[in-house]
């Protein structure tokens, strides 16, 4: 018989884990700041131009310069909020999330997670965050339950704790426990996406980085995941960074939203503040987030960003 842990117990455990991690001279001020990004920049590509040295290797369009993907991104996420990062394809959202989750080094700037430096104190940072990416990887021949058991153990949970939490989380996500006994290769992409969300919330991390957690989900599943995210925020004192292309979702879930275009933050505020910014006398109800995005970024969310190329000097 599987015991079901109440949400209060889960919240208490998460909070005490958080408190013990944040001890050791960390001030209340740091504790209040889940994430601070200061002037973060990142470029990809470039490298040596072999075409100049080896003429037979020269390509038709010459050497491609490096691509400046993030250009001085700064923002702060406050404790307990859902912060939305909205931008077109290629605008740099996933790159930023990969930097926050210590998977990628920034070229410049500073990222602090609860006061810890994401580059110099990456193991402390990793203990406090969890990331859901749009392409989650699992052991496809193992069942959902086996996968969750495995990843739960990797995150340092005991098997008893995992067995207690999994049915609660799956239930909240509207995922049948029976289905969870089948190999993950039998699951649709959307179902796997739900399991990725379930896995990331297994440990009640204090900062969640959700990169398009609802992309590709049917409307019902989307609502399940959205409700789950809101519930976790409310009950577990979690702070959540969310990227999405769904403006309604952003409006529904996010306390504050940042628009990113061409690797720069172009606007930031509560959904209401952003609407007010473009209203110019129009009724706020008549302004959709799509309109706000278009007016503030000069682009539609569906449009692909142009890559901005920079030359490396020296």
Ligand X SMILES: Nc1ncnc2c1ncn2[C@@H]1O[C@H](COP(=O)(O)OP(=O)(O)OP(=O)(O)O)[C@@H](O)[C@H]1O
Binding site for ligand X (CB under 6 A): 44-45, 67, 69, 87, 89-95, 307
Q: Which does 226 bind (CB under 5 to 8 A by kind): Mg ion, ligand X, none?
A: none
State the Cα–Cα distance between residues 188 and 218, nearest whole angstrom: 11
Residue 10 or 241 having the CB closest to ligand X: 241
Three-state secondary structure along 67-120? EEEEEEEEEEECCCCEEEEECCCCCCHHHHHHHHCCCCCCCEEEEEECCEECCC
Q: Which is nearer to ligand X, 35 or 145 (CB)?
A: 35
Interface stretch with Mg ion, choices 85-93, 124-132, 229-237, 292-300 (CB under 5 A) = 85-93
Max Cα separation, the chain? 71
User: Which does residue 91 touch among ligand X, Mg ion, none (CB within 5 to 8 A, set by kind)?
Assistant: ligand X
Token reading at 251: 């409006």
Distances from the Cα of 22 to the Cαs of 26, 29, 32, 310, in angstroms?
6, 11, 11, 40
- Taking the least distance from each CB to ligand X, the nearer of 87 and 271 is 87
- Nearest distance in Å: CB 195, ligand X: 20
Nearer to Mg ion, 88 or 253 (CB): 88
Selection from 49, 82, 85 nearest residue 65 by Cα: 49
Binding partner of residue 92 among Mg ion, ligand X, none, CB cut-off 5 to 8 Å per kind = ligand X
How far apart are alpha carbons 93 and 111 in whole angstroms?
15
Residue 217 interacts, among ligand X, Mg ion, none and using kind-specific CB cut-offs from 5 to 8 Å, with none
Write out the two tokens for 41. 């920049």
Binding mask 13-42 vs Mg ion (x if CB under 5 A, - otherwise)? ------------------------------
Identify which of residues 90 and 174 has a Cβ nearer to Mg ion in the complex: 90
b/e map 261-294, b = 16+ CB within 10 Å: bbbbbbbbbebeebbeebeeeeeeeebebeebbe
Taking the complex as a whole, the smallest distance from the CB of residue 251 to ligand X amounts, in Å, to 18
Residue 33 or residue 214: which is nearer to ligand X going by CB?
214
Which position's Cβ is nearest Mg ion? 94
- Nearer CB in complex with Mg ion: 111/132: 132
* 95 in contact with Mg ion (CB under 5 A): no
One DSSP character per residue, 203-221 reads T--SEEEEESTTTT--HHH
Can you read off the two tokens belonging to residue 275?
């609407």
Number of residues binding to Mg ion, judged by CB under 5 A: 2
Residue among 196, 182, 190 at smallest CA distance from 151: 196
Q: Which of 94, 192, 214, 226 binds Mg ion (CB under 5 A)?
A: 94
Tokens of 314: 């020296």
Q: Which residues bind Mg ion (CB under 5 A)?
A: 93-94
């Amino acid at each position: 018989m599987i015991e079901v842990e109440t949400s209060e117990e889960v919240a208490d455990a998460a909070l005490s884990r958080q408190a013990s991690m944040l001890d050791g001279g960390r001030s209340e001020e740091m504790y209040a700041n889940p994430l601070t990004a200061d002037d973060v920049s990142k470029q990809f590509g470039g490298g040596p131009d072999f075409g100049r040295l080896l003429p037979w290797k020269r390509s038709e369009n010459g050497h491609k310069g490096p691509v400046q993907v993030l250009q001085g991104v700064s923002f702060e996420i406050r404790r307990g909020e859902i912060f939305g990062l909205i931008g077109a394809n290629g605008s740099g959202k996933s790159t930023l999330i990969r930097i926050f989750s210590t998977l990628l080094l920034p070229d410049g700037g500073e990222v602090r997670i609860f006061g810890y430096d994401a580059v110099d104190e990456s193991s402390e940072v990793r203990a406090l965050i969890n990331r859901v990416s749009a392409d989650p990887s699992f052991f496809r021949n193992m069942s959902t339950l086996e996968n969750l058991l495995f990843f739960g153990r990797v995150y340092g949970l005991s098997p008893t704790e995992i067995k207690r939490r999994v049915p609660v989380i799956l239930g909240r996500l509207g995922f049948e426990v029976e289905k969870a006994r089948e190999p993950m290769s039998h699951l649709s992409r959307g179902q796997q996406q739900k399991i990725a969300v379930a896995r990331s919330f297994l440990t009640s991390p204090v900062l969640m980085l959700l990169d398009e957690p609802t992309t590709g989900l049917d409307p019902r599943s989307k609502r399940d995941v959205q409700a789950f995210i809101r519930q976790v925020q409310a009950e577990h004192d979690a702070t959540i960074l969310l990227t999405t292309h769904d403006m309604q979702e952003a409006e529904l879930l996010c306390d504050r939203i940042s628009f990113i275009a061409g690797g720069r933050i172009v606007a930031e505020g509560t959904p209401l503040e952003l609407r007010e910014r473009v209203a110019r006398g129009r009724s706020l109800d008549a302004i959709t987030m799509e309109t706000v995005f278009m007016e503030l970024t000069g682009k539609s969310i569906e449009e692909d960003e142009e890559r901005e190329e920079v030359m490396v000097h020296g």
